[in-house]
Amino acid sequence: MEVARKRSALLVVDVQNDFCEGGALAVPGADSIIRPINAMMGKFDRVILSQDWHPVGHVSFASSWSGRSPYESVEAEGIPQVLWPDHCVQGGEGAAFRTGLDSDRATLILRKGFRSGLDSYSCFFENDRTTATGLDGWLRSVGVSELFIAGLATDFCVLYSSLDALRLGYSVRVVEDAVRGVDQPPGGAARALAAMRREGASFTLSEALN
């Protein structure tokens, strides 16, 4: 598949230490996607890396809620919220990009989830679904209309970013060998892939790009 460099971008979602082996919220197999992501970067003029960037005491942390445990669900100001172990705390080692990821190739680094009372799965909108991250405006300003999406996790930030991109009118291609899921609850990753396909995303493999 020929990448249309002038109108395409690679969006790499949250490949950070806390989501990889040994991290606070490790995604199974996460380290295996670094090689294909690095190999793809040179095929794009524009590479966006997103980064979860939570303050201490963030609303998504189970430790911020008395008597609650990770993976429980609550409502925060009327917004459904899954609770997680503390992760990707601003400036901490867990929030850093994974060692081995060629982050120097980034055209743009997008930080999200930095508001203490509002989580952000999508790279386009916070979880209130109205607060924009600014990514859409940036992409349009440089003429991007097609996104190739890779990263973590398939069933959360990759899913929501892909669905929002589709709703905003972008052509979306999910790089299937360069995403991995939390799979909490079990089967979530497969359901996420099906939802993206149903809404109009197409799928490719990293080695198919040229």
CA angle 20, 22, 26 (to 5 degrees): 45
Over the chain, what is the mean pLDDT? 97
- Answer whether the bond into residue 185 is a cis peptide, omega within 30°: yes
- Decide the pairing of beta strands 73-76 and 79-82: antiparallel
Distance between CA atoms of 188 and 210, rounded to whole angstroms? 31
Return the closest-CA partner of residue 13 out of 156, 186, 177.
Answer: 156
Task: Spot the catalytic one: 20, 112, 123, 164.
Answer: 112
Mean pLDDT of 177-184: 93
Q: What is the pLDDT of residues 21-65, one digit of tens each?
A: 999 999 999 999 999 999 999 999 999 999 999 999 999 999 999
Task: Spot the catalytic one: 20, 88, 123, 157.
Answer: 157
Domains of the chain (ranges plus CATH)? 8-52+97-208 (3.40.50.850)
Q: What is the pLDDT of residue 28?
A: 97
Q: What is the pLDDT of residue 118?
A: 97
> Is there a contact between 151 and 11 (Cβ–Cβ < 8 Å)?
yes
- Spell out the residues 6+ positions from residue 158 whose beta carbon is closer than 8 angstroms to its own: 13, 149, 150, 151, 152, 174, 179, 192
Distance between CA atoms of 161 and 168, rounded to whole angstroms? 10
Mean pLDDT of 64-88: 96
Task: Spot the catalytic one: 14, 86, 119, 136.
Answer: 14
Active site residue 112: yes
Active site residue 20: no
- Spell out the residues 6+ positions from residue 180 whose beta carbon is closer than 8 angstroms to its own: 27, 28, 29, 30, 32, 33, 152, 153, 154, 189
First to last CA, the chain: 6
